[in-house]
Chains A and B, each alone.
Chain A
Amino acid sequence: MGRLVLGVALGMMVLGIALLVGPAGLDAGGVVTALLDRLPFLEVETSLSHRELTILWEIRMPRTVMGAVVGATLAAAGAAYQGVFRNPLADPYLLGVAAGAGLGATLAILLRSRGFPSIPLAPLAFLGAVVGVALSYGLSRTRGRSQRSATTLVLAGVAVASFLTAVQTFLQLTNVGTLREVYSWILGRLVTVGWGDLYAVLPYMVASWLVLVVFRRSLDVMAVGDDEAAALGLSPRVVRLVVVAAATLGAAAAVSVSGLIAFVGIIVPHTVRLLAGWSYRVIIPLSLLMGGAFLTAADLVARTVVSPAELPIGVVTAFLGGPFFLMVLRTSGDLE
């Protein structure tokens, strides 16, 4: 419980800093008072001008919240995949999520350059991700029931991902004009989004969080393997299906707006594990919190370090996450 409180406090702190910092140079006191003013029953006079308030509420706020929910979703999805496949290297992009989304995004960018400027990127990326996973799942089902295992699904995912990536690379290389835009999407970025983008994907992410939180105890049971989980009274197939579906839905929604942000789904759950132990009852909620805080912090770095330009956030997550994780690994001992 103390850890949860600490996690919430840390998350709030990072969110606060993210709202205070940006190229527009909003006055810190003004931001705080503007935020307090939004609380119910509280009337506070803010020093921000109308233009500054618009920057705060329509640009900085949605972007910060987007960073937090994308990070939370990717981290919790990663934790769930690792639990359900009992593989510490499983990530939210397993099973063709990334490759499918990449192909969808590439198609969207391509069509835009070919005279369909109104083609939206996020829905196509989302669709691509869902198609990728559906293909992986469908292919794994073609094996006989007795020969099927968790590994079958993962291997089918690898094959589907290779195929979709090949198609995506082909499209990209035959249309060199789109190369830069596609590449920037693949590296991941939280472009300045409005509330509209957030509202479009938030329901999927929230649904994914709810399912994962509800199934966190089942993930603990899955730790003893399929045979023993079944002997204890839990159907591993059902748990895996529900948890994978929920995590994938959330991850697909996340990548559709953020691109492929690497590392969050692996680094955050493992850091939580090293700090707070084995139980998914703790890992899932803490991954949600820490994932949100981590990505918000990474976005803060991404948009300030080379300001007014921006770094791709995927570069920041890998650059910061790698060393940080190694440090945690060194100080807290074993992982396996």
Chain B
Amino acid sequence: MTGLQVRNVSVVLGEARVVDGVSLVVEEGEWLGLIGPNGAGKTTLLRAVTGAVSTQAGEIVYRGIDLETLRVRRRARLMAVVPQHPVVPWGMAVADYVLLGRTAHMGWLGRETGTDLDIAREAVKDLGLEKLSTRRLDELSGGELQRAVLARALTQAAPLLILDEPTSSLDVGHGQQMMEMVDRLRREQDLTVISALHDLTLAAQFCDRLVMMAGGRAILEGPPRTVITERSLRDHYGAEVRVLTGPEFGVVVIPLRSDNESGEQPVSLEMENR
């Protein structure tokens, strides 16, 4: 069965038509990457899917259910969201934060059950946060925080995982670990993943399929190699790049400096300091 269907969706914010008639399909178990230059409408499209902004036209259907008709509670059981800039509440411990993911499964007034606690503990373990579980959220590093947010999303036990730029605040190592973690979890738990991604190389390595957006529209769609090309990046990003492809690294995007000077050698600082 087809997972998520976005049909001809438009979103207007103020005067601007930020998403303009986008249609796309995400199959069950697939990882779809949304790429595109800044302001292309990626985040807004994701917010339309999560219900954070209302659509002006079109419909968004998941497993045959029109998402617009769902109350927040039902929706939260179907999809979990990892925002780009999560709000970090003052003083909250990691374990408590992760447990917030169970909200949609508890009564409004309810207490967490043993099951809720088990699921939260499991997620903490899955993301290697055991040692940090009593630490305060506002004392975590960027990578640790991102893992806590992902753990919270996992405890929602929702089949659809939505990630907005999950690696944008992480360095290359942590970004890679984050993507690998998402990839492992989606295989283990049969998740369907949609993510907006900034880093084209990571997007190409991990996503099954990419959709490139520009100016609020979905421009290109297909396997990473067919979407990330020198031509598409020039046309829609205004970027001069080399795109290398190879069996061991997939697709690599190398930005070219317009007045590239070659033949320079770096000075070793260690030598200088001696």
Contacts and interface: CB of A to CB of B under 8 A. Distances in A.
Interface in A229-248: 230-235
A214 B71 CA distance: 21
A227 interface: yes
A199 interface: no
Contacts of A217: 106, 109-111
A133 B252 CA distance: 59
Nearest to A213: B109
Contacts of A146: 54
B173 interface: no
Interface residues of A, number: 24
Interface string B65-81: 00000011101110111
A231 B52 contact: yes
B89 interface: yes
Contact of A279 (B73, B77, B96, B111): B96
B50 interface: yes
Interface in A277-301: 277-279
Given A217-B109, A227-B52, A227-B83, A233 B103 contact: yes
Contact of B91 (A218, A221, A233, A277): A277
A225 interface: yes
A4 B182 CA distance: 41
A225 B100 CA distance: 12
B21 interface: no
Contacts of B81: 228, 231
B109 A233 contact: no
Nearest to B54: A146
B51 A278 contact: no
B92 interface: yes
A220 interface: yes
Interface in B89-110: 89-92, 96, 100-101, 103-106, 108-110
Contacts of B146: none
Contacts of B90: 223, 278, 335-336
Nearest to B110: A217
Contacts of A227: 47, 52, 83
Nearest to A236: B72
Most buried by B among A221, A225, A227: A227
Contacts of A233: 72-73, 75-77, 103-105, 156
B101 A232 contact: yes
B86 interface: yes
A232 B83 CA distance: 12
A224 interface: yes
Most buried by A among B91, B101, B156: B91
B51 A221 contact: no
A108 to B, nearest CB: 38
Given A230-B52, A232-B156, A278-B89, A224 B80 contact: no
Nearest to A278: B91
B10 to A, nearest CB: 14
19 contacts: A214-B109, A217-B110, A217-B111, A220-B100, A224-B100, A225-B87, A230-B72, A231-B50, A231-B76, A231-B83, A233-B72, A233-B75, A233-B76, A233-B77, A234-B73, A234-B108, A277-B91, A278-B90, A335-B90
Given A223-B89, A224-B87, A230-B51, 15 more contacts: A146-B54, A214-B109, A221-B103, A227-B47, A227-B52, A228-B87, A230-B52, A231-B81, A231-B83, A232-B76, A232-B101, A233-B76, A233-B103, A234-B103, A279-B96
